[in-house]
Amino acid sequence: MNLADNAVIVLKEFLEVRDTYPSLKLLKLETGFVITGHIDFFCSHTDGKKIKDEYHIDIKIPEDYPEFLPVPYEKDGKISPEYHRLVKGALCLGTPSEQWSVFNENKNLLGYIEYLLIPYLFRLSYFDKCGEYPFSDRAHGNLGILEAYTSRFGIIDKGVLADLMKYCLVVGSSINKRGKCPCGSLKRTFQCSNHHDMLLFMIRMPVRIIQAELSSMIQAIKSDEQLSKRC
């Protein structure tokens, strides 16, 4: 995608963002666009508690959007620097595969804000008001990626998780439905009820995300094994 196409997409999608969040502005930078301003929200949790809050946010949009997702930053220091941050203080809205999966369901800037950024901010505001998080938390970094896969797909065997990711990395979207599942069950790929959902999830991911998360998962498994040996 060239820069002109990127600009057309961003400008068009920002019109929707501005209609919902009129205080936000779109600025052009040398490295792409940035959406800046205060995001306010009013959300209800399933427990009936209602949260109203606002945050000063910069959302940096890369030149290769939407192939690569925006990166959000909080500007006023309201969010602790220790809480789920990435390089240079960017907010960590979830694992790369989780973010990509959610973004693909609502593939525009407004969807990114409402289905990825707002839930992150809501969780923090809920904790500030209620003293507990509205839904479970997990570790950050490599271990968090491993936990995300085990909790999402209910696969406890870490070796099987890694094998499934390696398999998807090799075959991509051309998985042979009549082939054997790499878990060793001898069942056909999409007849293996234990791993069917994960395979479908993975083949929709960009290769770069599978590669990065596989590397993180292997590092987490090694660290866990080393810790177990010490104990």
7 and 103 belong to one structural domain: yes
How do beta strands 50-62 and 71-74 pair? antiparallel
- Looking at the fold, whether 184 and 126 belong to one and the same domain comes out as no
Query: Which residue range is the domain that position 50 belongs to?
Result: 3-130
Whether residue 126 sits in one domain with residue 205: no
Of the three residues 81, 111, 130, the one that is the final residue of a domain is 130
Does one domain contain both 116 and 153? no
Q: How far apart are CA 173 and CA 151, in angstroms?
A: 24
Per-residue pLDDT of the chain (231 residues; tens, 9 = 90+): 566 788 999 999 999 999 999 999 999 988 789 999 999 999 888 888 899 999 999 999 999 999 999 999 999 989 888 787 787 889 999 999 999 999 999 899 999 999 999 999 999 999 889 888 888 777 878 888 888 888 888 888 888 888 888 877 776 656 666 677 777 777 777 677 767 788 778 878 888 998 998 898 888 888 766 655 554
At 100, is the secondary structure helix, strand, or coil?
A: helix
| pTM for the whole structure | 0.85
Total count of domains within the chain: 2
What's residue 5's pLDDT?
A: 84
Residue 9 included in any domain = yes
Rounded CA-CA distance 15/17 in Å is: 5
Based on the fold, state whether residues 202 and 222 are members of the same structural domain.
yes
Residue 66 forms part of a structural domain: yes
Do the domain assignments include residue 198? yes
Domain boundary among 67, 100, 130: 130
Kindly tell me the number of DSSP H helices and DSSP E strands found in the chain. Answer: 8, 4
Residue 136 falls inside a structural domain:
no
125 and 148 share a domain? no
Q: How far apart are CA 162 and CA 213, in angstroms?
A: 10
* Token reading at 160: 């099987």
Backbone dihedral angles phi then psi of residue 124, each to the nearest 5 degrees: -70, -45
3-state DSSP: the chain helix, strand, coil percent, rounded to 5?
50, 15, 35
The verdict on 13 and 70 lying in the same domain is: yes
CA dist list (Å): 225 to 176, 179, 219: 33, 31, 10
Among 100, 130, 160, which residue terminates a domain?
130
φ and ψ of 43, to 5 deg: -130, 150
What one-character DSSP code corresponds to residue 65? T
d(CA 70, CA 59): 6
Count CB-CB contacts under 10 A for residue 150: 16
Both 92 and 23 in one domain: the answer is yes
Quick check: is 63 in a domain?
yes
Same structural domain, 17 and 86: yes
Q: CA 80 to CA 84: how far, in whole Å?
A: 9
Q: With contact defined as beta carbons under 8 Å apart, do 130 and 49 qualify?
A: yes
The residue type at 96: P
User: 224 and 110 in one domain?
Assistant: no
CA-nearest of 73, 9, 67, 61 to 30 is 61
Tokens of 3: 């820069």
47: in domain: yes
Q: Is 135 part of a structural domain of the chain?
A: no
What's the CATH code of the domain at 58?
3.10.110
Query: How is residue 159 written in tokens?
Result: 């070796």
What pLDDT is recorded for position 228?
56
Local structure of residue 84 (DSSP, 8 states)? S
d(CA 146, CA 170): 20
Same domain, 93 and 32: yes
pLDDT of residue 122: 94
94 and 158 inside one domain = no
**pLDDT value of residue 139:** 80
d(CA 191, CA 47): 38
